[in-house]
């Protein structure tokens, strides 16, 4: 245990660096974009929204580049993060307070998330997400951002308020020394993200070997949980403010970015392996927790308004699924590294 302690500390520090690095990078990139006269709504839909997926991107990209069994951590991180977002985080916020969601989200972004999840599972079903498939997913991300920007300008208020947190206090002069500070934030953010992802991937591999499980299991559970913490914080704050559509919207957006950006970029750089035994448990669970909230919300429609409601019992059900799945993969795969 004493030999494992340094790796556990590096694992935890890796999460801290990933979170801090993403914040620095988003803050610097947001301010640079505004200085280059990019509309604030575009900053919110791209730089800020992409920022919550940066930890997953750096971890998955590095793990895939290292190859071997470590590459399994890459796809495990994304699948596990998407499961955690909708089973754990959505479960927690619904258990805290019944979740009221506007019908528009259920008719537009949510079906798109389901479609993208199905497309990803289909791509990975043969054991690999290839480079061409990665490019297709990333092009889908660009199309989604463009569609979001042009289809509904009413989204601007929410996204702009989020983006404003990163651009407050800017000088009106785009060519003063403050510009160098913002460039420095971008470089610092990328550097810290790189260090954090390296520590996390390397320590996760050692921890997996020590506990007799595969890198995939660690990616599906511990790494996915850690990289989903920003979404958990944002969603809890939103539900406490009685902004249920923002809480669910953040999770839907995060899952879309995880597949289209993280899987897309990672596979485009190098074909991403998808162990065939994921077809038996992990992909079905991911699809189940993707579809189930939509069903629960449609069934839970209020009679006196247009909102749909996910109640505390629904949230408890999602939590049972999450913890049952997490415990299950350790019991099924402990000592075997696969099935």
**HEC sequence for 115-153:** HHHHHHHHHHCCCEECHHHHHHHHHHHHHHHHHHHHHCH
Q: Which domain holds residue 71?
A: 5-333
Does residue 66 belong to any structural domain of this protein?
A: yes
Does residue 250 belong to any structural domain of this protein?
A: yes
DSSP assignment of 179-245 equals HHHHHHHHHHHHHHHHHHHHHHHHHHHHHHHHTT--HHHHIIIIIHHHHTHHHHHHHHHHHHTT-HH
What DSSP element (H or E) covers 107?
helix 103-107
CA distance 262 to 73: 13
Provide the residue-wise pLDDT of the chain in tens; the chain has 339 residues. Answer: 567 788 788 878 877 777 777 777 777 777 777 776 666 656 655 666 677 778 888 888 888 988 877 888 889 999 999 999 999 989 988 888 888 777 777 888 889 999 999 999 999 999 999 999 999 999 999 898 888 767 655 544 555 555 565 556 555 444 455 667 777 877 887 788 778 778 877 887 787 777 777 888 888 888 888 777 777 776 776 677 666 556 777 788 889 989 999 999 999 999 999 999 899 999 999 999 999 998 888 886 654 555 678 888 999 999 999 999 999 988 876 644 454
CA distance 92 to 248: 12
The DSSP bridge partners found for residue 101 are 308
With CA atoms as reference, report the closest residue to 79 among 298, 320, 295, 273: 273
DSSP assignment of 271-283 equals PEE--GGGGTTHH
Compute how many other C-beta atoms are within 10 angstroms of the C-beta atom of residue 233. 12
Does residue 62 belong to any structural domain of this protein?
A: yes
The CATH number for 211's domain is: 1.20.1420.30
Does residue 231 belong to any structural domain of this protein?
A: yes
Would you state the structure tokens that stand for residue 304, as one six-digit string? Answer: 């006196």
Does residue 184 belong to any structural domain of this protein?
A: yes
Does residue 19 belong to any structural domain of this protein?
A: yes
In tens, the pLDDT along 228-261 reads 777 777 677 667 766 655 677 778 888 998 999 9
Does residue 338 belong to any structural domain of this protein?
A: no
Would you state the structure tokens that stand for residue 158, as one six-digit string? Answer: 């929410």
The structural domain count of the chain equals 1
Query: Which residues contact residue 323 at a Cβ distance below 8 angstroms, ignoring those fewer than 6 apart?
Result: none
Query: Quick check: 232 and 24 in contact, CB under 8 A?
Result: no
With CA atoms as reference, report the closest residue to 102 among 248, 231, 234: 248
Q: How, if at all, do strands 272-273 and 308-310 pair?
A: unpaired
Would you state the structure tokens that stand for residue 228, as one six-digit string? Answer: 């989903």
Does residue 35 belong to any structural domain of this protein?
A: yes
């Amino acid at each position: 245990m004493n030999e494992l302690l340094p790796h556990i500390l590096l694992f935890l520090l890796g999460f801290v660096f990933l979170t801090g690095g993403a914040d620095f990078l988003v803050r610097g990139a947001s301010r640079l974009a505004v200085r280059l006269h990019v509309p604030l709504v575009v900053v919110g839909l791209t730089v800020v929204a992409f920022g919550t997926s940066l930890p997953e991107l750096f971890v998955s990209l590095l793990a895939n580049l290292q190859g071997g069994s470590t590459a399994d951590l890459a796809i495990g991180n994304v699948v596990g993060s998407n499961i955690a977002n909708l089973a754990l985080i959505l479960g927690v916020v619904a258990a805290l307070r019944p979740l009221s969601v506007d019908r528009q989200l259920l008719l537009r972004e949510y079906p798109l998330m389901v479609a993208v999840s199905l497309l990803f599972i289909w791509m990975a079903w043969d054991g690999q997400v290839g480079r061409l498939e990665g490019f297709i997913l990333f092009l889908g991300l660009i199309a989604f951002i463009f569609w979001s920007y042009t289809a509904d300008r009413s989204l601007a208020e929410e996204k702009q308020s989020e983006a404003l947190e990163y651009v407050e206090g800017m000088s009106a002069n785009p060519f003063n020394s403050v510009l160098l500070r913002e460039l420095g934030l971008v470089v610092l953010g990328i550097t810290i993200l790189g260090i954090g992802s390296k520590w996390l991937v390397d320590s996760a591999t050692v921890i997996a070997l020590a506990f007799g499980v595969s890198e995939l299991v660690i990616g599906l559970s511990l790494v996915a949980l850690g990289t989903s913490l920003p979404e958990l914080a944002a969603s809890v704050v939103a539900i406490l403010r009685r902004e249920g559509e923002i809480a669910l919207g953040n999770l839907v957006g995060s899952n879309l970015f995880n597949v289209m950006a993280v899987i897309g970029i990672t596979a485009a750089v190098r074909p991403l392996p998808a162990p065939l035994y994921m077809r038996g448990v992990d992909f079905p669970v991911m699809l189940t927790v993707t579809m189930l909230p939509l069903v629960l919300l449609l069934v839970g429609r209020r009679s006196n308004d247009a909102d749909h409601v996910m109640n505390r019992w629904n949230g408890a059900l999602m939590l049972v699924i999450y913890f049952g799945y997490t415990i299950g993969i350790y019991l099924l795969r402990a000592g075997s590294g696969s099935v």
